[in-house]
Amino acid sequence: MHLARGSGTLNLNSDIDKIFTEELLQRSVKTQKELIKKAVKILKVNGELIYSTCSILKEENERIIEEILKLPNIEIMPINEQIFKEVPLLPVNIKGTICICPSDLYEGFFVSRLIKNN
> 24 CB contacts (<8 Å, ≥6 apart)?
4
Of 12 and 108, the structure prediction assigns the larger pLDDT to 108
How many CB atoms within 10 Å of residue 104?
6
- The confidence score (pLDDT) of residue 3 equals 41
Q: What is the architecture, at CATH level 2, of domain 16-116?
A: 3-Layer(aba) Sandwich (3.40)
Residue 33 has pLDDT above 60, yes or no: yes
The catalytic residue positions are 54
Q: What is the pTM of this model?
A: 0.84
Least confident of 68-72, 102-106, 109-113: 102-106
Average pLDDT score over the chain: 87
Least confident of 45-49, 53-57, 66-70: 53-57
Instruction: Single out the residue of 13, 44, 9 nearest to residue 28, CA to CA.
Output: 9
